[in-house]
A = this chain, B = another copy of it.
């Protein structure tokens, strides 16, 4: 009887993999930054916009809407003129900051190595002389 080396047929798919599912949520350009900003507590729309360098109103709104839809961010409207809209992390949103902080720790610890690796790689692949 012959022992197969390993019978593997596509067992990793985008829709199922635990890695990808979270990344779908946080991997947009601004999502992580918005969550990061909101970790300091409730904040007004304009305030978030001012804190995040380079974000446009369109993207800020879009990002906040997505996060709200995912139940990660709460939106509180104080009906007045002009209106006051406060955003904050929900309890669910807070739980997400835990794994995110692990990512951040990884960055502080190892990102410089990634940069070194890139330089080394680019050195070889595209030598200047």
Contact with B along A76-108 (1 / 0, CB 8 A): 000000000000000010011011101111111
Whether A129 is near chain B, meaning CB under 8 Å from some CB there, is no
Shortest CB-to-CB span from A74 to chain B, Å, is 11
Q: How many copies does the complex hold?
A: 2
Where chain A touches its partner, the secondary structure class is: helix
Give the number of residues in A that approach B within 8 Å (Cβ atoms).
Answer: 58
Contact B23 A117 (CB under 8 A): no
Shortest CB-to-CB span from A12 to chain B, Å, is 5
CA distance A13 to B37 in the complex (A): 10
Residues of chain B within 8 A (CB-CB) of A10 are 50-54
Contact B17 A113 (CB under 8 A): no
